[in-house]
Structure formats: C-alpha cells, structure tokens
Amino acid sequence: MVSTIGVDLPAVLGGRRPAAAAPLLDLTERSRALVEGLGEAVSWPLYLTLARFLRLTDG
C-alpha cells in the first residue's frame, strides 16, 4: 500500500500524543496486511471509487 497523502500519519499521530492518553489504535499495519493478502482484484471493492460512489448515489 502506498500513502497518497504524503505523510506517515501513524508516526505523526503517535509522536504527538500525551503519555497519559488512551492507546492509539493503529490499524495501518492490519489494513496493509488485509489488502495485500486479498490481492488487488479482490481488495478493489473495499475502496470507494468515484464511479462506484456515483452509482451508489444515483436515484
């Protein structure tokens, strides 16, 4: 998986939490493992593409 937002968000968020804060639930690694395990063709429907969004909101 490739980040398209240009930042390592889990690292940034993890470094800015106070020590007493609730644990950060970082789902990045689990999501990456799931998508890579499923493969590109099977995991594609997990993503809301513009064409799919338009079909879901049409009428």
7-58: pLDDT as tens digits? 777 777 766 767 777 777 778 888 889 989 999 888 888 877 777 777 766 6
* Residue 3 banded pLDDT, cuts 50, 70, 90: low
Q: What is the pTM of this model?
A: 0.50
d(CA 21, CA 14): 10
- What is the per-residue burial (b if ≥16 Cβ within 10 Å, else e) of 27-39? eeeeeeeebeeee
